[in-house]
Amino acid sequence: MSATTTTPQRELGAGRVPGTRRTLEKGPSGWLAVPALAFFMLFAILPLLGVLFLSFTKWDGLGEIKLDGLSSWNTVLADPVTGNALLVTAKIMFFSFIVQAPISLLLGVFTAASQKYRAALAVLYFVPLLLSSAAVAIAFKALLDPNFGLGPGLGLPFLAQDWLGNSDLVLFVVVFVIAWQFVPFHTLIYQGGVRQIPASLYEAAQIDGAGRVQQFFNITLPQLKYTMITSSTLMVVGSLAYFDLVFVLTAGGPGYSTRLLPLHMYLTGFKANDMGAASALGVILVVIGLALALFLQRLGGKNRNASQLEGA
């Protein structure tokens, strides 16, 4: 009798609580996303739809909104300043990426391996992140002043030139300021990615006689694939939002040398009082950002989540 009798726990499976799966399936967990979705709809989707509607209107920001068809779009697409703004945006996106990406990667790998100075370096890296872009722009504008800046103060003629007034140099000055502010952020991203790589991989490589350079190219870089995609996405898409820094530092000048697309959108809407054309520029900006983000995310492949869990 006792040989054929099974306990209720064995029938259900060891450690399994009756009704747990059914409770989870019927639980309220799905409703937890409703506030986030409502917030996203209210502050992202609805404003975007409003901007899309305004792009087909004629409005000066104060008077009556009048439907105007594709007039604003024709004005924007035929304006050579728009083409120049797209070109300047692409240049800053490209140069800021090729400067930030390798420096952030190397600094992240170095700080992750440096046990002694990791905490101190992490604190120093946070300093630029604590400053607003406007404050950073004001500081560099004062330092680069050809009359009262750092160059004249130190008696260095090379630094005393008009960096922000030279159309051949100003773009690279903007890229330098962007890198100064955002390289620490991406360094911390890479530092976290390196620290997630299993130490056993490096130990096995050392046993096989691999040096530091071989370990970097054969272990560190492949394991940081998705970290690099995440950082690159933030760098590239973030290049479309450098309005405040450029506006305070150069105001788009000299001429149109640093007139980015978001700055062109602002000046069109609030200086030229053409909200229809500014809205069309805003839609173009959003479409470019979404396209770049989707392209970079596709580089991760279909098994991105599984690979991240394996390397954690």
Domain harbouring 138, CATH code = 1.10.3720.10
Does residue 136 lie within any of the structural domains?
yes
> Domain count of the chain?
1
Does residue 49 lie within any of the structural domains?
no
Q: Which domain holds residue 190?
A: 66-311
- What was the pLDDT predicted at 307? 45
Structure token pair of residue 290: 């979404």
In the beta sheet, which residues pair with residue 66? Answer: 58
Q: Where are the alpha helices (DSSP H) in the chain?
A: 8-12, 20-25, 34-40, 46-54, 71-78, 80-113, 118-130, 133-143, 150-154, 170-195, 199-207, 212-215, 221-223, 225-238, 243-249, 261-266, 275-298, 304-311
Does residue 26 lie within any of the structural domains?
no
Q: The whole model's pTM is what?
A: 0.82
261 contacts: CB under 8 Å, gap ≥ 6: 82, 85, 86, 88, 89, 240, 281, 284, 285, 288
Does residue 59 lie within any of the structural domains?
no
99: left (phi over 0), alpha (psi -120 to 50) or beta: alpha
Q: What is the pLDDT along the chain (312 residues), one digit of tens a residue?
A: 444 444 444 444 444 445 444 444 555 677 888 999 999 999 989 999 999 999 999 999 899 999 999 999 999 999 999 999 999 999 999 999 999 999 999 999 988 887 777 777 777 877 888 899 999 999 999 999 998 888 888 888 888 889 999 999 999 999 999 999 999 999 989 999 999 999 999 999 999 898 989 999 999 999 999 999 999 999 999 999 899 999 999 999 999 999 999 999 999 999 999 999 999 999 999 999 999 999 998 887 655 554 444 443
Does residue 46 lie within any of the structural domains?
no
- Angle among Cα 133, 167, 134 to the nearest 5 degrees reads 10
- What was the pLDDT predicted at 217? 93
How many Cα atoms sit within 13 Å of 276 on the Cβ side?
A: 20
- What was the pLDDT predicted at 1? 44
- What was the pLDDT predicted at 28? 62
- What was the pLDDT predicted at 227? 94
Does residue 54 lie within any of the structural domains?
no
* Nearest C-alpha neighbor of 94 from the set 189, 175, 167: 175
Q: What distance lies between CA 302 and its chain's CA centroid?
A: 22
59: left (phi over 0), alpha (psi -120 to 50) or beta: beta
What is the residue type of 208?
Answer: D
Does residue 28 lie within any of the structural domains?
no
Does residue 60 lie within any of the structural domains?
no
- What was the pLDDT predicted at 299? 81
Q: Contact, 284 vs 59, CB < 8 A?
A: no
Q: Contact, 99 vs 172, CB < 8 A?
A: no
* SS3 (DSSP) at 70: coil
Q: How many CB atoms lie within 10 A of CB 211?
A: 9
- What was the pLDDT predicted at 301? 66
- What was the pLDDT predicted at 155? 85
